Amino acid sequence: MIKPSTRPAAALIRASALAVMLACAACGPSSDVDAQSGPASTGGGADTNPLDQMAGVESLGWLTTLNDLYPDEYSRLGAVVDHEVGSGSDVVAARTTLMEAFLPFMAKRKRSLRSAADELLVDYLRLNLAALEHLKTENPQACVEIAQGKLDPSTQLSQTAWTKTSEATAQLLKAAHGAEASPVARPDPTLTAEEQHKWFVEIGNAGATRRTAELLRDPAAAARASADELCQVRILLMKGALLSPPETAAKIVLAAG
| DSSP secondary structure, 201-219, as one string | HHHHHTT--HHHHHHHH-H
* pLDDT at residue 38 is higher than 60: no
CA distances in angstroms from 182 to 67, 74, 105, 110, 175, listed in the order given: 19, 22, 19, 15, 10
Return d(Cα 156, Cα 111) in angstroms, integer.
30
* pLDDT above 90 as % of the chain: 43
Stretch 55-69: mean pLDDT: 89
Residue 23 pLDDT grade (very low, low, confident, very high; cuts 50, 70, 90): low
Residue 153 pLDDT grade (very low, low, confident, very high; cuts 50, 70, 90): low
Per-residue confidence (pLDDT) for residue 32, from 0 to 100 = 52
Stretch 24-42: mean pLDDT: 45
Residue 21 pLDDT grade (very low, low, confident, very high; cuts 50, 70, 90): low
Per-residue confidence (pLDDT) for residue 201, from 0 to 100 = 92
Residue type, position 95, single letter? R
pLDDT top residue among 255 and 14: 255
Q: Identify whether the C-beta of residue 162 lies closer than 8 Å to the C-beta of residue 135.
A: no
Domain span holding position 127: 4-256
Per-residue confidence (pLDDT) for residue 208, from 0 to 100 = 93
* pLDDT at residue 251 is higher than 60: yes
* pLDDT at residue 6 is higher than 50: no
pLDDT tens readout for residues 100-115:
888 889 888 888 999 9
Query: Which residues in the chain belong to E strands, given as ranges?
Result: none
What contacts 212, CB < 8 A, 6 or more positions away?
Answer: 2, 203, 232, 233, 236
Burial (0-12, 13-18, 19+ Cβ within 10 Å), 192: exposed
* pLDDT above 70 as % of the chain: 81
Q: Could you give the number of structural domains in the chain? A: 1
Q: Identify whether the C-beta of residue 92 lies closer than 8 Å to the C-beta of residue 224.
A: no
Residue 22 pLDDT grade (very low, low, confident, very high; cuts 50, 70, 90): low
What integer best gives the mean pLDDT of the chain?
Answer: 82
Stretch 34-63: mean pLDDT: 65
